[in-house]
Chain A
Amino acid sequence: MSTGTRRGRYGTVAASLIAGAAAWEAAGHVVSGAFWAPLSATVETFIETARSGFLVRQILSSFQLYLTGLALAILAGAPFGLVLARVRWLRVALENYIMMLYATPMVALIPFILSIMGFGFAPKALVVFLFAVFPVLYNTVEGARSIRPELVEIAYSFRTSEWRLWCDVLIPYTLPFTMTGIRQAIARGLVGMVAAEIFLSPSGLGQMIMMGSQNFDTPGLLAAILIIVLLGVALMDFGRFLENRFAAWRGYNP
């Protein structure tokens, strides 16, 4: 079978993508324009909105929101996770709340955020933050706790200070786990971004989806979704790249 070879694999992928595009195009011509649009019309709308500068503005607006929420999630989640892993009573006190919040679909909290914080940029960034922070926090705590006690003992044996123990041992050991959390946060943050832009004040790509839907502009709607899909794929790849970059030494088997 040719699928075993690299060339065969690329061939299959290309064929699959072409078949998908063809099905999209065909469905657009069969199904009513209110529900679906052909790929060609979607791409046309895409190019139009891109030319007018509207698309770029919306993407930048979304990205600003996304990156703010994600950055805050990483900056808060990773250090706090390390502290929780190291300070037992704090972890015991908080771990149930963290598990509850991690398990909660964050969309459920949006009405509260809306009624408390209103419609600005801040509540939307908070939504992205809430979507993204728990994977970072959770993976960091679990990672830092999984360190072999032997490695910590060795550090003490060489007369480490608590500060050096963090720099030399705890942080480098935990980094790959945090990266796994960040990869998940990258994906969840994107969901948070779209949710915030649809359920709070409309802006960015979420607004494009809303506008397309309300105006029965199906090509516009599909164009916005297509962009989000492409962004999602690119960001996931970037996340996996980051994760691998920081986990080179995981090939080690103690």
Chain B
Amino acid sequence: MHTMSRGQARIVMSGAGKRFGTLEVFRDISLEVGEREVLAVIGPSGCGKTTLLRCLDGLIPLDEGEIAVEGERVEGPRQGVAVVFQHFGLFPWKTVFDNVAYGLKLAGASRAEIQEQIPEFIRLVGLAGFEHYYPYQISGGMQQRCGLARALAVKPRVLLMDEPFGAVDAQTREILQFEMLRIWEMRPTTMVFVTHAIDEAVLMGDRVLVLKGRPSSVHEIVEVDMPRPRDRGTLLQPRFAELREHVWGTLMADARRAERELAR
């Protein structure tokens, strides 16, 4: 059922490893992500989630193994792959419109194409009316909507999300999560969603990759067998609570053990 709808593998990681000097960040990550799959990646801070994402985008090279996107080895940033960054990363001297148009402009789109296509993405993320605002004039949540529109505007086949809602307040975060689910339903793509929030990982992901250890490696891959489209109702289902508890237990086992040691 659900597993079938993932489609063919679009990202293939085989034995991926990365080190910075003598510090080994992660090792031996082998995993496939399907055409219409959302892979949530979770792990303690410093486990290399973001580093893995940067390797997937080709911003930094792997030291071991290989990552292939659409059958081709990743050697650098690829056309068809877009990133949404944790701290939004908007250009403060550009308006919302120009920020959203940035990727398309770099890809060589004409002025007419930009004028025609960009408003659609601004509407999609709910920023209509704010086209001419500068980033400092809008809230954090709106800035991230803008960052999301910028990534979507290049019509990516792989969307890499680097703790995209980690820098906004709790309420905005919830709103953006459901917005993201809605947008994904409209344009399902391969998505790798890095987060440190367990709820978010289970809500967004078809599978949750739990990274753990030093250097970190695949600790567990949790199947989230909950139907899409997902919405607020998903949070209320018993299965959601079960899965969240399961991921929590996996993630926190060490922490609990350490706590018990201390208590003794």
Contact = CB atoms under 8 A, between A and B. Distances in A.
Interface of A: 150-151, 153-154, 156-160, 164, 168-169, 172-173, 175, 248-254
B93 A151 contact: no
B59 A249 contact: no
A159 B107 CA distance: 8
A172 B103 contact: no
Interface string B99-120: 0001100110000000000000
Given A150-B85, A249-B136, A252-B134, A158 B106 contact: yes
Contacts of A151: 89, 91
A244 B136 CA distance: 16
A154 B93 contact: no
Nearest to A164: B106
B8 interface: no
Contact of A249 (B54, B82, B134): B134
A248 B136 CA distance: 10
B103 A158 contact: yes
Contacts of B78: 159
Contacts of B79: 159
A172 B93 contact: yes
B154 interface: yes
A164 B92 CA distance: 17
Most-contacted residue by chain B among A156, A157, A250, A251 (CB, 10 A): A157
Contacts of B93: 172-173, 175, 249
A172 B95 CA distance: 13
**Looking at chain B, what size class is its interface with the partner chain?**
20 to 34
Given A159-B106, A168-B91, A249-B135, 8 more contacts: A153-B89, A154-B83, A157-B57, A157-B82, A159-B77, A172-B91, A172-B94, A248-B134
A172 to B, nearest CB: 5
Contacts of B102: 158, 168
Given A158-B106, A159-B107, A249 B87 contact: no
15 contacts: A150-B85, A150-B89, A153-B89, A157-B59, A158-B102, A158-B103, A158-B106, A158-B154, A159-B106, A164-B106, A249-B134, A250-B92, A251-B134, A253-B136, A254-B92
Contact of A157 (B77, B94, B134): B77
Most-contacted residue by chain B among A153, A154, A164, A254 (CB, 10 A): A154
A160 B106 contact: yes
B107 A157 contact: no
A26 B103 CA distance: 68
A153 B57 CA distance: 11
Interface in B60-107: 77-79, 82-83, 85, 87, 89, 91-94, 102-103, 106-107
B85 A249 contact: no
B67 to A, nearest CB: 15
A150 to B, nearest CB: 5
A159 B151 CA distance: 12
Q: Which 7 A-B pairs have the closest CB atoms?
A: A252-B136, A252-B92, A251-B136, A249-B92, A158-B103, A154-B89, A172-B93
A159 B74 CA distance: 13
